[in-house]
Structure 1
Amino acid sequence: MTISRRTLLKGAVAGLAATAVAGCNNGAANRGAGEVIYWLWDSAQLPMYTECAKVFQQQNPQYQVKLEQYGWDDYWNKLVTGFISGTAPDVFTSHSAKYPLFADKGQVLAIDDYVAKDNVDLNIYQKGLADRWIGADGKRYGLPKDFDTEVYFYNSALTDAAGISTEQMNSMTWNPTDGGTFEQIVARLTVDSKGRRGDQPGFDKGNIKVFGLGSDGAGGADGQTSWSWFAATNGWVYSEGQPWGTKFFYGDPKFTETIGWWRGLTTKGYMPTLAQATSGVDQTSAFGAGKYAMTPNGSWMLGTYANLKSVKTKLARLPQGPNGKVMSMMNGLADTIWAGTTRSEASWAWVKFLGSQTAQDIVAKSAVVFPAVAASMPTAEAAFTKAGWDITPFLEPVEAGNVFPYPANPNAADVSAVMTPAMESVMGFESDPSSLIKANDDVNQILSAAS
């Protein structure tokens, strides 16, 4: 989603506080009180949630569920339009970057009373996931449905050709001074147009055939699939009050030196420039074409990488950083009820079911995402193993407690509107990493004005 769309989304929602329950017919004249409209954006998840709806309706014949799926950008634009027109879905899949603003504007329903009334056990979820859906106001706005972490996807044919073992790939270290064994491996995997590697004499960084490390851009305000683990293992945190950022630290020396080192991989020719990375060919496609030896990405991309039939893809742990840990951002989705629904009881029944082990066992068997219910994970592991994946690198930071949350606040769109161009300016070599100090001041001014 571009900055302009984020800004438009934020601006549109900003005026919605009075419309949460105004004109909310939601098609009431055309369907029964027990029919729930449910939206999601991931087409890969449509089959498993269709199965969930079938089981739910068998158990609850008084209710029906109608599923609708839209692509990411259309999804959020249509959702805001639905808020305004009073035709939003009863229940929709939500993201921790989005729901804080919706909650702040009264567009999503707090479910605390329902949870208490039905004695929902919040301890069945992976540690910390349920708390991600408690807003800044202390109210709960969803039940977890899945979770994700990050790893490196790598082309094993290219690592074999470079003489790099599986053990080396899974024991990488990094530091902001010389990059550690991570940078050594990235250099070794980078090949110029004449077949010389990044660690060999005569290497031509201006004519690269294979980049050791892929990129999908500058990372924006969160760096979830690019720089987040480097910064975290260098002792940096996004903000005070994490994940509800009240004061951000993008100007912290720990952050600016991390970004300076990361940018240096481009200077050395090991990673594509920002212009190359955003030229129109996405990171995964470039990996599938053999242009990138390894790419960082999240667990939700396992299915996409599995479809790259010309590449034998394996998974590697994120590198251990200066703090001695392997750390990953841990995020997850939840199902949220629109505050304007006229079918609150039916909507809650569906949300409660989706948050149950019964539903998440169905999700687990699909080998698409990781279920939020801890007891469903063995089923998911077996399904992913059958699909050819060893997902251990995704799970180790979770089991060790070395995870950090996606940064969330109601002003996320404004934070992104500042940090996205600031990071692009740095990664495009238009500005020095020290310029992030000013960007951080701008972010904190926004938060101060909004409080």
Structure 2
Amino acid sequence: MSSTRTRTRSVGGALAVAASLTLVLTACSGGSSGGSGDSSGGGDAGDAIDTSTASGDIDYWLWDSNQLPAYQQCADDFHAANPDVTVNITQYSWDDYWTNVTNGFVAGTAPDVFTDHLSKYPEFVSQGQLLPLDATLEADGVDTGSFQEGLADLWVGQDGLRYGLPKDFDTVAIFYNSALLADAGVDPAELQNLEWNPDDGGTYEKLIAHLTVDGKGVRGDEPGFDKDDVAVYGLGLDGGSGAGNGQTQWSMYSGTTGWTVTDKNPWGTHYNYDKPEFQSTIAWMRSLIEKGYMPSLEAVTGQSSADIFGAGKYAMITNGSWMINQMFGYDGVETGLAPTPVGPDGKRASMYNGLADSVWAGSDNKAAAVKWVEYLGSAACQDVVGASGVVFPAIPSGTDAAKAAFEAKGIDVTPFLQHVEDGTTFLFPITDHAAEITGIMQPAVDAVFTGDAEPDSLTSANDQVNALFN
């Protein structure tokens, strides 16, 4: 019988977050039941927590149901090695997850440890919600240099303190429908050497046009193509415009133009949405919609791009490595992978996003919580996660295990990993004011995609974003 417990939930209509979140948090305490390893007096920036006598129950939350079995195995293995500590795992859907995390901060019911995201943690740090880990990791001899290059640096705040240990990473590649390529007379090998530019789209746009088919069977590069009656789009659009980061929509193109989202990353204080390299990339994206080669924003909003791909409506779509199993899991669809195109700078590009596990500052069992985070960041756990073949763990041995697991399923994941091997990744933008920036850039980029605004309107949006830092 397992000594750890797993709960899966999808809860809506949770307690509303108070506007004065930071003030409320100062009065909150909570978490799971503490044990003899509880360190209520530790956890400040300079204080190491004694994890050697950790005991009691802790709560751990994550959002990806596909990873739940692997982390349950990690929890069981951790308990076997530390029988005085029990890890209770709860999985929520993405939207409910963040609602419940933030509500938990207010109510004092947040988990001791939770999967954290780069778009969320700067705000959590500013509100004092995360426990600095540096002193304890040093005391316990944890090597933060054991992860894939650059991942550990993402979780060091502007104060120089560490607020998470990397758990996995993701990059972007092209998923394609093999049958639709064959129908078009396209050899998949042709996708290995595609070139893109924002002016005419290069050989990449030529392929997209050829793979697009209207309701009468006319291709996008043939006379008589009806852009208002498209049966198969050459390139799908992943659920929206991508707002200000475009991770799966356009970042793999803009990243090859010499453009950067911010003046520095992480912790930049000036955004660059006014630059011609960015605006021309967004203009190119809109041109695909106008030509009928890519679906409109209205057509994809609220829809599953993966399911549309699985229905045979997209010949290709760019998406993240976390989607591998779903994209290869559709009955009757033979899916393939190809690298993103080479851009104006002569290289490919992919946004490099990494998740981590963080400890809630309000946990009443910090010793067990940090000990669990240390285990989550170790090869002992990440090799297990890698062997499950769902994501790419942050430790190289875990990454290798994941590659082997995917290969055992007949999936060559080289198009994702070659970005790491070739050094063509760039970091997910990490700054303050993430929520406010999304609130500005989402409607601004949406308006360009729908034709309600011109690309140069993004300069005004950029001014609004940069005003947040003044």
TM norm structure 1: 0.94
- 1:219-258 equivalences in 2 (<5 Å): 219-258=242-281
> Are residues 1:23 and 2:28 paired?
yes
The answer to whether the 8 A contact 1:38-1:89 is kept is yes
The answer to whether the 8 A contact 1:16-1:107 is kept is no
Q: Name 1:71's counterpart in structure 2.
A: 93
> Are residues 1:198 and 2:244 paired?
no
Counterpart of 2:453, as a letter, is S
Counterpart of 1:322, as a letter, is P
> Are residues 1:298 and 2:320 paired?
yes
Counterpart-to-counterpart distance in 1, 2:24 and 2:72: 31
Q: Name 2:413's counterpart in structure 1.
A: 391
Q: Deviations over 1:199-251 (max 9, x none)?
A: 11111111101000001211111100000011110111000121322100011
The answer to whether the 8 A contact 1:106-1:339 is kept is yes
> Which of 273, 284, 290 is matched with 1:261 structurally?
284
Higher mean C-alpha deviation, range 402-411 or range 359-368: 402-411
The answer to whether the 8 A contact 1:21-1:339 is kept is no
> Which of 269, 287, 291 is matched with 2:309 structurally?
287
Offset at residue 12 of structure 1 (A): 4.2
Offset at residue 24 of structure 1 (A): 0.8
Q: Name 2:114's counterpart in structure 1.
A: 92
- 1:302-381 equivalences in 2 (<5 Å): 302-381=324-403
Residue segments in structure 1 that go unaligned for 5+ positions in a row:
1-8
> Which of 246, 271, 282 is matched with 2:294 structurally?
271
The answer to whether the 8 A contact 1:230-1:258 is kept is yes
Counterpart-to-counterpart distance in 2, 1:99 and 1:331: 13
> Which of 118, 121, 140 is matched with 1:118 structurally?
140
Distance 1:29 1:328, change over 3 A: closer
The answer to whether the 8 A contact 1:13-1:102 is kept is no
Any idea what SS the aligned residue of 1:243 has? coil
The answer to whether the 8 A contact 1:20-1:339 is kept is no
Q: Name 2:177's counterpart in structure 1.
A: 155
Counterpart-to-counterpart distance in 1, 2:325 and 2:78: 26
> Which of 119, 125, 137 is matched with 1:103 structurally?
125
Any idea what SS the aligned residue of 1:50 has? helix
Any idea what SS the aligned residue of 1:145 has? strand
Q: Deviations over 1:60-108 (max 9, x none)?
A: 1111100000001100001111100111000000000001100110001
Counterpart of 1:49, as a letter, is Y
Counterpart of 1:302, as a letter, is I
Q: Deviations over 1:230-287 (max 9, x none)?
A: 1110111000121322100011011111111111011111001111122x43211111
Structure 1 runs (4+) greater than 3 angstroms displaced: 11-14, 18-21, 27-33
Counterpart-to-counterpart distance in 1, 2:166 and 2:262: 23
> Which of 202, 210, 231 is matched with 2:232 structurally?
210
Name the % identity.
48
Counterpart-to-counterpart distance in 2, 1:27 and 1:184: 57
Counterpart-to-counterpart distance in 2, 1:29 and 1:311: 50
Distance 1:303 1:183, change over 3 A: same
How many residues end up aligned between the 2 structures? Answer: 439
The answer to whether the 8 A contact 2:62-2:114 is kept is yes
The answer to whether the 8 A contact 1:148-1:331 is kept is yes
Counterpart of 2:29, as a letter, is C
More helix by share: 1
Q: Deviations over 1:302-353 (max 9, x none)?
A: 1211221221100010000000001100111100000000100100110000
The answer to whether the 8 A contact 1:25-1:86 is kept is yes
Any idea what SS the aligned residue of 2:255 has? helix
Counterpart-to-counterpart distance in 1, 2:56 and 2:32: 12
Q: Deviations over 1:106-161 (max 9, x none)?
A: 00111011111112111210000000101122110010000000001100100111
The answer to whether the 8 A contact 2:31-2:59 is kept is no
Counterpart of 2:368, as a letter, is A
Offset at residue 27 of structure 1 (A): 4.8
Residue segments in structure 2 that go unaligned for 5+ positions in a row:
1-13, 39-54
Counterpart-to-counterpart distance in 1, 2:159 and 2:451: 40
> Which of 425, 429, 433 is matched with 2:451 structurally?
429
Counterpart-to-counterpart distance in 2, 1:204 and 1:241: 44
The answer to whether the 8 A contact 2:59-2:111 is kept is yes
Any idea what SS the aligned residue of 2:130 has? coil
- 1:393-412 equivalences in 2 (<5 Å): 393-412=415-434
Counterpart-to-counterpart distance in 1, 2:86 and 2:34: 16
Offset at residue 29 of structure 1 (A): 8.4
Offset at residue 13 of structure 1 (A): 7.4
The answer to whether the 8 A contact 1:243-1:407 is kept is yes
The answer to whether the 8 A contact 1:327-1:402 is kept is yes
Q: Name 1:4's counterpart in structure 2.
A: none
> Which of 33, 37, 49 is matched with 2:59 structurally?
37
The answer to whether the 8 A contact 1:26-1:87 is kept is yes
Counterpart of 1:251, as a letter, is D
Counterpart-to-counterpart distance in 2, 1:286 and 1:27: 42
Distance 1:119 1:14, change over 3 A: farther
Q: Name 1:170's counterpart in structure 2.
A: 192
RMSD: 1.8
Counterpart-to-counterpart distance in 2, 1:62 and 1:229: 47
Counterpart-to-counterpart distance in 2, 1:347 and 1:27: 10
Offset at residue 42 of structure 1 (A): 0.6
Q: Deviations over 1:373-431 (max 9, x none)?
A: 01222211110001121000001111111110111123100000000000111101000
The answer to whether the 8 A contact 2:213-2:220 is kept is yes
Counterpart-to-counterpart distance in 1, 2:439 and 2:243: 9
- 1:175-190 equivalences in 2 (<5 Å): 175-190=197-212
The answer to whether the 8 A contact 1:214-1:287 is kept is yes
Any idea what SS the aligned residue of 2:60 has? strand
